[in-house]
């Protein structure tokens, strides 16, 4: 597994973008609405060819994530790991105490060939798994 990004739960996209840009991060794309999560998402990378990627997640009031925002406010809340196979990794992680709470689903903000699943660990909280399906040309 390799870290893909750190997810930040935020209240206001524009304010968070400004704050991260002040710290030297640059957007890797536009702000995207993710219907499945009912939230606006935007990815940023650290400046100078940095390898740190941040996902800003601004849930709408109707999103299942909104309750987390009410409790934790603006905060980092998950780490996303890129894996070769979500299904295989979920089995392995569940054998080690993780519990999946969101089935694999498309991740349009990452790409049309991306899918993600979310798991919880009693020791470390939320973990996201990302699988990028290979396309044949």
135 — pLDDT class (breaks 50, 70, 90): low
CATH number at residue 101: 3.10.180.10
User: Radius of gyration (Cα) for the chain, nearest Å?
Assistant: 15
Query: What is the structure's pLDDT at 103?
Result: 86
Residue 5, pLDDT > 70, answer: yes
Range of the domain at 65: 2-132
**Is residue 14 in some structural domain?**
yes
Tell me, letter by letter, the H, E, C secondary structure of 63-120.
CCCHHHHHHHCCEEEEEEEEECCHHHHHHHHHCCCCEEEEEEEECCCCCCCEEEEEEE
Q: The whole model's pTM is what?
A: 0.90
Q: Provide the domain count of the chain.
A: 1
Tell me, letter by letter, the H, E, C secondary structure of 11-71.
CCHHHHHHHHHHCCEEECCCCEEECCCCEEEEEEEECCCCCCEEEEEEECCCCCCHHHHHH
**Which among 104, 109, 95, 97 is positioned nearest to 128, based on CA atoms?**
104
Residue 108, pLDDT > 80, answer: yes
Query: What is the structure's pLDDT at 137?
Result: 53
Measured distance CA(103)–CA(95) in Å, rounded: 17
**Is residue 17 in some structural domain?**
yes
Q: How many CB atoms lie within 10 A of CB 21?
A: 13
62 — pLDDT class (breaks 50, 70, 90): very high
Assigned token pair, 55 = 């996902």
**Is residue 137 in some structural domain?**
no
**Is residue 111 in some structural domain?**
yes
Average the pLDDT over each of 14-18, 49-53, 92-96 and give the range with the smallest value.
Answer: 49-53
**Is residue 19 in some structural domain?**
yes
**Is residue 128 in some structural domain?**
yes
The mean pLDDT of 100-104, rounded to a whole number, is 88
**Is residue 29 in some structural domain?**
yes
């Amino acid at each position: 597994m390799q870290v893909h990004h750190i997810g930040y739960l935020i209240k206001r996209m524009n304010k968070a973008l400004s704050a991260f840009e002040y710290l030297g991060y640059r957007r890797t794309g536009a702000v995207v609405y993710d219907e499945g999560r009912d939230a606006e998402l935007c990815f940023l990378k650290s400046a100078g060819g940095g390898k740190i990627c941040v996902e800003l997640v601004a849930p709408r009031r109707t999103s299942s994530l909104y309750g987390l925002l009410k409790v934790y406010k603006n905060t980092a809340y998950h780490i996303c790991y890129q894996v070769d196979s979500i299904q295989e990794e979920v089995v392995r992680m569940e054998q080690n105490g993780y519990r999946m709470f969101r089935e694999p689903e498309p991740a349009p903000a990452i790409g049309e060939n991306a899918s993600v699943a979310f798991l919880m660990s009693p020791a470390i909280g939320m973990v996201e798994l990302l699988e990028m399906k290979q396309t044949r040309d």
